[in-house]
Copies of this chain bind each other. A is one copy, B any other.
Amino acid sequence: MAGNSFGTIFKLTTFGESHGTAIGGIIDGCPAGIMLDLEKVQEELDKRRPGQSAIVTQRKETDTVEFLSGIFEGRSTGTPIGFIIKNSNQKSGDYSHIQDSYRPSHADYTYDEKYGVRDYRGGGRSSARETACRVVGGAIAKQVIPEIGFSTFTSSVGDIYIDDEKDLDLSLIESNPVRCPDPVSAEKMEALIREIRSQGDTIGGTVQCVIKNVPKGLGEPVFNKLHAELGKAMLSINAVKGFEFGSGFKGTQMKGSEHNDLFNPDGSTVTNLSGGIQGGISNGMDIYFKVAFKPVATIMQKQQTINSKGEEVEMQGKGRHDPCVVPRAVPIVEAMAALVLADFFLQNKTSKI
């Protein structure tokens, strides 16, 4: 039962392989009557685009989205919004070395086991290229809930972390190619990424998202809790290994008397270790969470691997890949968060009479 749709009321379905004619998707359930700013959608896509800075992959892809339906005279009409992004980079020749071999810690082997057939060009469907469609969906989702504010940034690269206690100026996120709002950390992170790349290696990191001005009441217990859907959304992004919100893993070491968020008379809380969600429902405080990204599996070093006959072969990454996926993952994390929030915003319209 294929899993290429996300959401229930605001629902994104995507298609497309790395080296097919085009990738694209359908957004079904966008409410009618919204003046859509399509340039903003392209701007979000540009944040995910290869070649945007010196520390990301230098592949040439313009990633221009074309909308095919669902918008009339600038407004959403309530009918499905179809869109495509043409693939400019469709040469198959470069991928002959992986046609019959399994790249370590990639999805080549598991796709072959599951489906018995695999579009090996550039990873096919398992390529992170599909996340461009998520960014389109998320950019439309944001316009359904314009009052909600999203700030997403790189919170660590390798062992370089922003200090959790530090007050951050979130307006600085786009001031550096790492997308880190702390300039001192950003500089260190960028230096680390450059060093790692010079080794032909890759490095992991974490992305943090802060969501402000969230209406109270979003989330659908007991299974579709707000943070459970956020977690699923994040874990569905390529290379993600973990998710935590509010106090997260650190909270496991705390006592209840330290961890409980006491109320102010207006219903806000003095602390916010809950991360803006109680019982799976937003309480109006900031939602914040962290997403763990492993190092990119494609490295520019020789690795031992096997081919589809089980024979050992040697392999080395070709082409232009990211030494660290985190800076380009920032807009993807934000897009998925927006998809979740817009969907719950619409779902909540039916929760009471």
Bound form: Cα–Cα A5–B80 in Å: 10
Flag if A156 contacts B252 (CB, 8 Å).
yes
Stretch at the interface among A30-38, A44-52, A170-178, A182-190: A30-38
Report, as a range, how many residues of chain A touch the other chain: 35 or more
Flag if B82 contacts A15 (CB, 8 Å).
yes
Q: Given the complex, which residues of B lie within 8 Å of A40, measured CB to CB?
A: none
Partner of A119 from B16, B77, B280, B305 at Cβ < 8 Å: B77
Q: Given the complex, which residues of B lie within 8 Å of A77, measured CB to CB?
A: 115, 117-119, 124-125
A88 at the interface (CB under 8 A from B): no
A334 to chain B, nearest CB (A): 17
A105 at the interface (CB under 8 A from B): yes
Flag if A78 contacts B114 (CB, 8 Å).
yes
> What sequence of 0s and 1s flags, for each residue 80-108 of chain A, a beta carbon within 8 Å of any chain B beta carbon?
11101000000000000000001011110
Say whether chain A's binding surface is mostly helix, strand, loop, or mixed.
mixed
Partner of A259 from B114, B125, B294 at Cβ < 8 Å: B294
> What sequence of 0s and 1s flags, for each residue 268-283 of chain A, a beta carbon within 8 Å of any chain B beta carbon?
0100011101111111
Flag if B106 contacts A253 (CB, 8 Å).
no
Flag if A117 contacts B253 (CB, 8 Å).
no
5 smallest CB-CB distances across A and B, nearest first, come from: A107-B279, A3-B224, A242-B244, A15-B82, A3-B220
Residue pairs across A and B with Cβ atoms less than 8 A apart, 30 shown, are A3-B225, A4-B80, A5-B28, A5-B223, A9-B350, A21-B69, A23-B68, A32-B114, A32-B115, A33-B353, A72-B118, A72-B124, A75-B117, A78-B117, A109-B263, A113-B283, A115-B351, A125-B222, A130-B222, A203-B255, A206-B252, A231-B243, A241-B249, A241-B252, A242-B248, A251-B292, A256-B296, A259-B297, A262-B304, A267-B306
